[in-house]
A = this chain, B = another copy of it.
Amino acid sequence: MIVILKPEATEALITDIVSQIEALGLQAHLSRGQFRTVIGVVGEEVKVDPEHLKAITGVEQVLPIMKPYKLASREFHKEDTVIDIPCPTGGVVKIGGGHCMAIAGPCAAEDEAMVHQLAREVKHAGASVLRGGAYKPRTSPYSFQGHGEEALRWLREAGKANNMPVITEVMDTRHVAVIERYTDIFQIGARNMQNFNLLFEVGKTRKPVVLKRGMAASISEWLMSAEYVLSQGNRQVILCERGIKTFETALRYTLDVSSVPVVKQLSHLPVIVDPSHAAGDRQYVPALARAGIAAGADGIMVECHDCPSKAMCDGPQALLPDTFESLMKELNAIAKALGRGFTTAPQAA
């Protein structure tokens, strides 16, 4: 850490600050410039909260040198993490290290028939994982909140029928156990990226976690949330960029496609993009999905529906299965041009 003192810091104050730093078990190296004194702090940085130092009178700024996350960092784990997601009737879906994955399905699991129908369609088009909401985070308390455990059952069955692992969102610490019984991947939504108790709970399971970026979260805060999961022993975290809040209102959120190469540089974890929630409008979903893969993402998560105007939620952003199929062709071509590829598990016997 680098501690920069205020220009008016007296000798007595400097001595006091140094002794406070040393009391924390750290070494302090003074460097007196023409205008300011700077203290280089050496020692086990992770053990000291920069805020302790920043709160000392006479300190102007504290600049950390080390990243605040450890297990999530590329320095801790140099190689790309590759996650093997077992398929219900055999085989695995791989993600990371050049393996791309498409997650697709309806926003909400609306009824048994539609879940099965869409599962077949998205698998045929090239998706390897089936998504579907059972517990839905809705802005309005008066909106449809999901079919709960029943929906989990539909997803489980449709996953088995098509040999697709299943992912669904968990919003409440009290639901972790039931969701774990039915699904293969936990999804933590953007609104819960800093629901720290929930992160601890999914961190205690041994199932992969797709962690969406909060709409106001910096990349560093996002990796800190991954660290919550990793710190509990669950090393299977997949990051998902889904758009951030900016002043631009043409689309619902601004997909921060730069976050893909930045995360790849800072971390070993796989990262995918969710163009559906970013755009909020199906006509822009293909362009954003292509941009994500071209930027280096390890996959996409998209919403599909056979009749978007009848969808119980987020109809405007749902792709028709046909469009999804064309999109998968484009994504395969882009991935191939960059030396990477999408795969699916074999169809169920």
Contact = CB atoms under 8 A, between A and B. Distances in A.
Given A216-B216, A250-B262, A255-B257, A290 B279 contact: no
A57 interface: yes
Given A29-B31, A334-B294, A248 B219 contact: yes
A51 interface: yes
A218 B253 CA distance: 13
Q: How many interface residues does chain A have, given as a range?
A: 35 or more
- How many chain copies does the complex carry? 4
Interface stretch (A60-68, A90-98, A151-159): A60-68
A168 to B, nearest CB: 15
Contact of A294 (B36, B38, B256, B293): B293
A337 interface: yes
B35 A68 contact: no
A54 to B, nearest CB: 4
Interface stretch (A118-126, A138-146, A178-186, A204-212): A138-146
Given A141-B196, A228-B141, A337-B334, A35 B66 contact: yes
30 contacts: A7-B75, A34-B42, A35-B65, A35-B66, A35-B75, A36-B66, A57-B309, A68-B140, A141-B196, A141-B227, A141-B231, A171-B196, A174-B197, A192-B195, A216-B245, A219-B248, A220-B250, A244-B246, A245-B247, A247-B247, A254-B256, A254-B258, A255-B257, A258-B279, A260-B287, A261-B283, A261-B284, A261-B287, A290-B338, A294-B334
